[in-house]
């Protein structure tokens, strides 16, 4: 039931492989997710250019065949194997099964990915404004780490210094109230339920 229709055969083959394991199939985030003891282990999904099998703790896998890719530049644990042809899946089914077995064994043995918490670097404009406004600095540094990160990512994503300054100025009132970047959105959606 994927919204990307190009990879139906590939997804069906991956699903068939996973259904032969001890994992429980569930639908999460609109895609097939396979769990063990209520923990997400593997997911299959389709993107514009490929179908893939995703291993939530894939960085723990030995990857002897060098098939795993990081899903994103900052991904610390998730690893994927991409497929663009159903023949690849059929040809590599034993290898895919070995990776799945290893993921299951890692989970059963209690292996955990150690996530490195790297703080987002503050943009220069934010650092300058915090130094010039002690109340803003105190309020900003009192926010939860997630709220700080949200603001820093939002401010940093602007390409022009003037845009970064404008964004900081527009968010100053929310910061002083101890609110996160998306708190208004969350409140509005909660009220609609």
pLDDT in tens, 155-192: 999 999 999 999 999 999 999 999 999 887 545 555 45
Spell out the long-range contacts of 179-186 with Cβ–Cβ below 8 A and sequence spacing 24 or more: 179/147, 180/143, 180/144, 180/146, 180/147, 180/150, 180/151, 181/147, 181/150, 181/151, 181/154, 182/150
**How many Å apart are CA 50 and CA 79, to the nearest integer?**
14
The pLDDT, as a whole number, for residue 165 is 96
Tokens matching residue 124: 């220069």
The SS3 assignment for 121 reads coil
What stretch(es) of the chain map to CATH 3.30.1460? Answer: 5-109
| CATH topology assigned to domain 5-109 | Yope Regulator; Chain: A, (3.30.1460)
The pLDDT, as a whole number, for residue 146 is 85
Residue 38 pLDDT greater than 60, yes or no: yes
The pLDDT, as a whole number, for residue 120 is 79
């Amino acid at each position: 039931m994927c919204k990307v229709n190009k990879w139906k055969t590939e997804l069906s083959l991956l699903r068939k492989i996973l259904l032969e394991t001890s994992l429980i199939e569930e639908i999460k985030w609109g895609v097939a997710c396979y769990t063990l003891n209520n923990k997400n282990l593997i997911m299959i999904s389709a993107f514009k250019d490929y179908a893939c099998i995703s291993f939530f703790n894939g960085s723990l896998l030995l990857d002897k065949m060098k098939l795993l890719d990081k899903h994103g530049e900052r991904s610390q644990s998730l690893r994927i194997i991409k497929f663009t042809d159903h023949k690849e899946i059929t040809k590599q089914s034993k290898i895919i099964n070995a990776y799945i077995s290893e993921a299951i064994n890692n989970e059963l043995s209690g292996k955990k990915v150690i996530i490195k918490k790297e703080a987002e670097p503050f943009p220069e404009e934010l650092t300058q404004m915090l130094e010039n406004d002690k109340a803003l600095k105190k309020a900003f540094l009192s926010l939860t780490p997630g709220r700080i990160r949200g603001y820093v990512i939002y401010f940093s994503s602007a390409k022009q210094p003037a845009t970064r300054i404008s964004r900081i100025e527009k968010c100053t009132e929310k910061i002083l109230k101890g609110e996160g970047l998306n708190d208004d959105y969350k409140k509005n959606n909660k009220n609609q339920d």
